[in-house]
Each structure stands twice: as structure tokens, then as C-alpha cells.
């Protein structure tokens, strides 16, 4: 076949070049004896004009029959046209329809439930396509950073026997008549693996049966977790900072066009790519909240509303550390100087987004960990293997989990986490 190109390449070719394109009809208008079709492919869009005076009648008729979202192939000559998107159009002499599209169900102006029922078609939209590209770049940046910094990638299980992050949000699965659960976090498996590989990470799906209907919760989300032997809390925070700013930087370098298409104001991202995220303690966070008239007692958890207020104080992502132990998980190491708080940290994204990373130094003392398991009313038998890790060569270690979808949501400036992922699992939805 002759010179088959993508739309973005076509925009850069000299006038008079003959090319062919494949794609889907994005817009179509008939003006007089001409049909103007904007073609969409995975790269972008390009205007094609089919002039009845210049093509055989069969070609013109084929173009007339084809409508929005039909898949087509066309060949023609590249010409300058200031009124066309990108300033270029293709003067077609061949036009063929691969798959017709009678009355595409999404015409514009539909409500959210209708759109979600048609998510399998909605994902073709230019807005969502831009997000999928940003998502790709975020994922490749995260991998790249970890590979470049000598982290080992490992593969944790998804079917598990016990909770990592509390029983309330577990999805139960029938395991041959016994209960099993979908993993909330790979953390404990990563902790086991540091004794062979020292620095490990995984990217897997985590499940949370959270009934709260918020803009930032999915039932099923992509979780990047890492764990490092010998690392203290501050070491792990440094990794969180570098990893996040690396991803932001790569998106700014490679996906600026998509960010602009989404009308994302990139000012805050430009600041964040430099790293050096501010750090405050939970105690300081409480003071900042009270300054803004938020009524909160020491020891209460920070929800989405409190986090939103805190983000108003910062231009970049920022850390909160040293949380009261009763609002955090049993595995977090108690601060030796102040055993009512843990060596835990969250990283919050600015602009109202809030938590994207949760991490901590882990309790590495057998007796203290066993006591914490009992205090929380958990069954130590279910955590026997996890406790074992403290019996055979225990080391200080730390790690965190990054909510990939939340990071993408913030970087892309989305109102809702559902659009960070093609087929979101939220609000009782399993379809499509
Ligand atoms: O703060 P979380 O619950 O921490 C853990 O699971 C640790 N065990 C991770 C670790 O140390 N290895 O979850 C980590 C991150 C959160 O900061 C958030 O970004 C994301 O996972 N997250 C969710 N993202 C989307 N939907 C949900 N329902 C989420 N729950 C947590
Ligand atoms: Mg958390």
C-alpha cells in the first residue's frame, strides 16, 4: 500500500504529497458538492475533503453513506488549508469504509449514567484518549525511575487470607468453601521479599470495598508499592518525593499537548517537578486546620474535607508525618520517643486533591508487633508468617503505596477518579 501515515505525520508533510490514512470519522459536514470529514486516529485528527467534481461518483457516494465513528481509509494529496484543524487538509481521491456506524450512541450532551453505560464507546473520546496517554506516560515513568534506581520488580498474589488495611474494606471470595479476600495491598509480601532482594516494588491491583461515594475512591485501583530493607521513614519519604516528581516531570516533557487539550493549568506541576516537598507533622496539620476554623480534636483522622483545607496552604505535594497510632495501621512503627504516634507518612497532592501516597517505617520488633495485633483485636494466627519475619533477621525497613489512579487524576486535573482509568469500578458498577 502507498504511504500509509498517521494524522500527526500528515500535518507535517509538504504540500502535494500523496498519502493514505486510516481512522474513524470524528466530524462530518456537507457543504454544496463537498464533504468535509475530520478523521481521528490514535495520534490526532485531520480534515479530509471529498469534492464531487474531483472524485468518481462511487467514491463520493461511499463517503456520503459513512457517518460518525465509521472506520474508513482514504488516500489523497496534502494541501495547506488555514481553516482546517492544524492548517492542513487532505484532498481525497479514494475513500473506503471498513465498518459502518449507524447512529453512534454518543452524540454529545448525554448525562453521566448514560455515558457510563456506554463507557466501551465513550473511551474513544478525544478527552479520554488524552488521559490514556498521560496514564501510559505516568506508568512508564514510575517503572523507569525504579529500574534506574536498582529496585527489583516482584509479583505479589491477589488472593489472600487476611487483611492488611482493616477488615471493613475487604472483598470476600469463595475459596473452595473457605473465605479468601482480594488483596488490599501487597505490602506484607513485599516485606517478606526484602530479605532476599532488599529493594522491591510491585504494580498490582488493590481492592477496597469502601462504601463511601467520593471522587477519589475506586473499588479496584492500581497500586504501586515498594519496600526497602534498612530504610528509615525519611529514606522512604525521599523515594516517594523523587518517584512522584520524576513522573510529573516526564508527563510535562512528553504529554504537554494532552495536558493542554485537557485545559490543565500546568503551573503547579511545574513547581512539583522540582521535588523538595514540604513536610509537616500531624500536630502541625491540626493547628493549620484550626486556623481555618475546622473543628477537629487531636487523634481524629483527616478525611477528604480536612485534606482539602490543608492543601490550600501548599503549592506542591506535601507530606504529613507522625500520625496518632489509633488512626493508622498496626504495622506502623511506634515512634520510640513518643509511642502514641507512628512513623507513618502520607503524601498529599495540592489543589484539593489530597492523599496519593501512604507509607511508613514498619514495626520490626516481634513483641511490639504482636502486642499491636492483639490491641487491634486481630487474630495473631492469621499473621503468623508476617510475625515470623521479625524472628529471623529482622531489620529496620520502610515502604509505601502510591495510588496510581489518584496520581493520574491530579496530574490530569480531573474532577473524578473514574476518568483516570478506562473501566472504573465504583458506585456498584461492574458494567461494562
Ligand atoms: O494508604 P493506603 O491504604 O496504604 C496501604 O495500603 C499501605 N499498605 C501501602 C504500603 O505501605 N505498601 O493506600 C495507599 C494508597 C493511598 O495513598 C491512595 O493513593 C491509594 O492507595 N488508595 C486508593 N486509590 C483509589 N481508590 C481507593 N479506594 C484507594 N484506597 C487507597
Ligand atoms: Mg492511607
In the chain, where the domains are located? 7-99, 117-420
Q: Which of 206, 209, 317, 416 to mutate to test the pocket of ligand 1 (most atoms within 8 A of CB)?
A: 206
Cell of 75: 488516500
List, in order, residues 6 or more apart from 124 with CB less than 8 Å away: 24, 40, 69
Could you give the CA distance from residue 50 to residue 55 in angstroms, rounded to a whole number? Answer: 7
The predicted pLDDT at position 1 comes to: 56
List, in order, residues 6 or more apart from 66 with CB less than 8 Å away: 25, 28, 37, 72, 95, 97, 100, 101
Cell of 61: 457516494
- Are 210 and 169 within 8 A, CB to CB? yes
Ligand at shortest distance from the CA of 227: 1
End-to-end Cα distance, the chain = 37
184 Cα to the center of ligand 1, angstroms: 8
Cell of 116: 457510563
Query: What does the CA dihedral 264, 137, 147, 202 come to, rounded to 10 degrees?
Result: 90
- Number of other CB atoms surrounding residue 2 within 10 Å: 8
The predicted pLDDT at position 428 comes to: 86
The predicted pLDDT at position 334 comes to: 97
Q: Which regions in the chain score pLDDT beneath 70? A: 1
186 Cα to the center of ligand 1, angstroms: 11
User: Which residues does a 6 A CB cutoff place in the pocket of ligand 1?
Assistant: 164-165, 184-185, 187, 208, 210, 217-218, 221, 223, 225, 355-359, 399-401, 403, 405-406
Query: Ligand 1, closest atom to CA 359?
Result: 11
Say yes or no: do domains 7-99 and 117-420 share a fold.
Answer: no
Answer whether 0.95 is exceeded by the pTM: yes
Burial class from Cβ neighbours inside 10 Å (0-12, 13-18, 19+) for residue 77 reads: middle
- Number of other CB atoms surrounding residue 258 within 10 Å: 20
SS (H, E, C) 77-137: EEEECCCCHHHEEEEEEEEEEEECCCCCCCCCCCCHHHHHHCHHHHCCCHHHHHHHHHHHH
Ligand at shortest distance from the CA of 203: 1
332 Cα to the center of ligand 2, angstroms: 12
The predicted pLDDT at position 212 comes to: 78
Q: Which of 171, 185, 359, 361 to mutate to test the pocket of ligand 1 (most atoms within 8 A of CB)?
A: 185
Q: Listing from the earlier edge strand, what are the strands of the sheet with 178-182?
A: 159-160, 178-182, 172-175
Please name the residue whose Cα sits nearest to atom 5 of ligand 1: 401
392 Cα to the center of ligand 1, angstroms: 28
Name the residues around ion ligand 2, CB cutoff 5 A.
358
C-alpha separations of 344 from 179, 183, 281, 372 in Å: 30, 21, 10, 15
Strands (E), 231-388: 279-281, 318-321, 334-335, 338-342, 344-349, 354-361
Q: Quickly name the fold that domain 117-420 has.
A: BirA Bifunctional Protein; domain 2 (3.30.930)
The predicted pLDDT at position 34 comes to: 97
DSSP, res 350: T
17 Cα to the center of ligand 1, angstroms: 52
Q: Which of 317, 406, 414, 427 to mutate to test the pocket of ligand 1 (most atoms within 8 A of CB)?
A: 406
In the beta sheet, which residues pair with residue 221? 206
Could you give the CA distance from residue 345 to residue 360 in angstroms, rounded to a whole number? Answer: 6
The architecture of the domain spanning 7-99 is: Beta Barrel (2.40)
356 Cα to the center of ligand 2, angstroms: 8
Query: Ligand 1, closest atom to CA 218?
Result: 26
187 Cα to the center of ligand 2, angstroms: 13
133 Cα to the center of ligand 1, angstroms: 23
Q: Which of 317, 274, 273, 261 has its CA nearest to residue 132?
A: 261
Cell of 314: 501548599
- Number of other CB atoms surrounding residue 356 within 10 Å: 24
The predicted pLDDT at position 222 comes to: 98
Amino acid at each position: 500500500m502507498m504511504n500509509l501515515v498517521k494524522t500527526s505525520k500528515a500535518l507535517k508533510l509538504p504540500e502535494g504529497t500523496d498519502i493514505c490514512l486510516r481512522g474513524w470519522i470524528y466530524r462530518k459536514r456537507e457543504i454544496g458538492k463537498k464533504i468535509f470529514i475530520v478523521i481521528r486516529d490514535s495520534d490526532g485528527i485531520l480534515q479530509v475533503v471529498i469534492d464531487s467534481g474531483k472524485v468518481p461518483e462511487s467514491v463520493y457516494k461511499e463517503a456520503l453513506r459513512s457517518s460518525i465513528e465509521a472506520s474508513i481509509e482514504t488516500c489523497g494529496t496534502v494541501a495547506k488549508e488555514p481553516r482546517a484543524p492544524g492548517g492542513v487538509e487532505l484532498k481525497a481521491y479514494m475513500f473506503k469504509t471498513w465498518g459502518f456506524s449507524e447512529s453512534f450512541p454518543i452524540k454529545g450532551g448525554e448525562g453521566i449514567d448514560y455515558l457510563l453505560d456506554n463507557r466501551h464507546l465513550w473511551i474513544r473520546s478525544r478527552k479520554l484518549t488524552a488521559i490514556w496517554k498521560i496514564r501510559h506516560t505516568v506508568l512508564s515513568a514510575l517503572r523507569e525511575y525504579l529500574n534506574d534506581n536498582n529496585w527489583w520488580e516482584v509479583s505479589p498474589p491477589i488472593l489472600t487470607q487476611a487483611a492488611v488495611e482493616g477488615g471493613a474494606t475487604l472483598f470476600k471470595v469463595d475459596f473452595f468453601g473457605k473465605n479468601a479476600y482480594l488483596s488490599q495491598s501487597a505490602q506484607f509480601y513485599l516485606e517478606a521479599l526484602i530479605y532476599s532482594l532488599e529493594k522491591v516494588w510491585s504494580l498490582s491491583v488493590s481492592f477496597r470495598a469502601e462504601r463511601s461515594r467520593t471522587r477519589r475512591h475506586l473499588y479496584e485501583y492500581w497500586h504501586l508499592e515498594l519496600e526497602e530493607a534498612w530504610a528509615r521513614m525519611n529514606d522512604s519519604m525521599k523515594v516517594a518525593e523523587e518517584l512522584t516528581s520524576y513522573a510529573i516531570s516526564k508527563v510535562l516533557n512528553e504529554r504537554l499537548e494532552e495536558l493542554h487539550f485537557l485545559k490543565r493549568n500546568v503551573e503547579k506541576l511545574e513547581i512539583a517537578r522540582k521535588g523538595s516537598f514540604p513536610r509537616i507533622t500531624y500536630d502541625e496539620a491540626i493547628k493549620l486546620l484550626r486556623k481555618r476554623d475546622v473543628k477537629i480534636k487531636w487523634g481524629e483522622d483527616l478525611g477528604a474535607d480536612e485534606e482539602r483545607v490543608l492543601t490550600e496552604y501548599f503549592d506542591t505535594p506535601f507530606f504529613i508525618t507522625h500520625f496518632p497510632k489509633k488512626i493508622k495501621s498496626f504495622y506502623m512503627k511506634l515512634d520510640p520517643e513518643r509511642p502514641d504516634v507512628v512513623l507513618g507518612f502520607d503524601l498529599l497532592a495540592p489543589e484539593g486533591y489530597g492523599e496519593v501516597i501512604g507509607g511508613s517505617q514498619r514495626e520490626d520488633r516481634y513483641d511490639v508487633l504482636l502486642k499491636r495485633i492483639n490491641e487491634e483485636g486481630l487474630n495473631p494466627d492469621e499473621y503468623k508468617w508476617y510475625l515470623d519475619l521479625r524472628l529471623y533477621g529482622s531489620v529496620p525497613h520502610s515502604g509505601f503505596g502510591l495510588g496510581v489512579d489518584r496520581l493520574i487524576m491530579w496530574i490530569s486535573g480531573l474532577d473524578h477518579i473514574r476518568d483516570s482509568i478506562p473501566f472504573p469500578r465504583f458506585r456498584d458498577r461492574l458494567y461494562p
